[in-house]
Chains A and B, each alone.
Chain A
Amino acid sequence: MAELIRVEGAAKRFANGVEVFVHLDLTVIEGECLCIVGPSGCGKTTLLRAIDGVLPLDAGRITIGGEEVRGPRRDVAMVFQGFGLFPWKTVEQNIAYGLEMAGAPRSLIRERVARQVELVGLRGFERALPYQLSGGMRQRVGLARALAVEPDVLLMDEPFGSLDALTREVLQDELLRIWQVRPVTTVFITHSIEEAIALGDRVVVLGPRPARVRTVLEVGIPRPRSVASVIAHPSFVQLRDRCWSVLRDLEAA
């Protein structure tokens, strides 16, 4: 399997001098979903923003397909923690946003938006404004907007973190289903070990600040998956315990 994203010796510190990560190495294989878990404030979001090209590194480099990331790229799309929907745009217009920024022709935008609406299950809500939608529906729009540009890399920053447990599981299943229909290399950040195992092909555990990669776990549960099938899988408990023990040791240290 070819590696698509490579993070080499990445370092970032905040303006106040706090080191977020000092020497971080990471690779993402083409077609996989890499989940990143770690204690809160360990720099998961910072790392993802750096991969997205919106935040320059202080040292080290990130390459996507061998090309160094120097700024935002059209083949990388982000799903935001707070949804990041434009309150003045309808569902359709929000989904079309990335395509419009890329200067796509009208006909293509219409066709892609219609397909995404169908894919994420938003039919009938095309003309709704975000305030009229529930949290789960809003993040469906956020996901559709990212997928509409047909990115090579999908970045997801705790996308279901603010949703209630039930909606969360529904959306995790939706995401697993969508990957089957439209596979895309994904980097998924979460603070939930269960979510990381359910969605990821590999799980990276980061340590506290300054963050380093502590463990990389191969999940090895075959797809197609559902959250229920993952939890019922014999290796699930063992994987979860291994993640936990790494995180617990980090706490103790």
Chain B
Amino acid sequence: MMIDVNVNLSRWPFRRLPCDTHDRLTLKLHQHDVVQAWVSSFDAVLHRDIGGVNLRLAEACKESGNVQLVPFGTVNPMSPDWHEDLRRCHEDYRMPGIRLVPNYHDYSLENAAVAELFQLAENRGLIVQIAFRMEDPRTQHPRLQVPDVDPAALSALAGRHPRLKLVLLNWQPAVTGTPLKQLAAAPNVFFDIAMCEGVGGVGSLLETVSVERVLFGSHVPFFNLESSLLKIRESPLTPEQLKAITHENAARLSADGASRVTNANS
């Protein structure tokens, strides 16, 4: 049983992907024992009608089948009336969290709107995912080069919102050195493994981040799901560590997610 916290629906703008249809994606997840996926939409990366993106995401996640698709709508705090997008995600669509893509939406984490968004999300009990990159800058389209998100401001922000649960996606290699150590020390910050690289990378990560805050994420369908599956095999992990990373930590993060997993298991 696994919970994947880093999944996207719809189509990547620059190529077709083998699992970029709903049926193929859910089949792939189901074949590999993923019972729940935290899902955003690729459309949110470039579309400006974020309200429409989130509505389609919420509708698509109702067609879950064998895999529980949990929608994480996207909020762009640079977009007019983004507060309404946040409200809809929480109140209308009952989403447990939201996702931010600051680099494609062209803002820094130092922007005052981010602090306001964090405060509102904390008040609502929403999880906030931050995607530090979607694609290696070396392979991006030459007309759309997008650098990684700068993490410098994040540990201070996390400290000011201790009840806010922050999930960092695709954070390596953007978050290393001092920022990584600072964020690893923040109890409300969680790390996915989709872009955790280097031989034995997950095991190395556990030398810096406590196992309770490491989450199974795959960046599917952009990446092959097997990448993250094999990463937890490549590192010598104890059964307890595997359980924590593959589902227990994510289930604990979201009470709603936990109950769904329980139902799926019963």
The answer to whether A binds B is: no
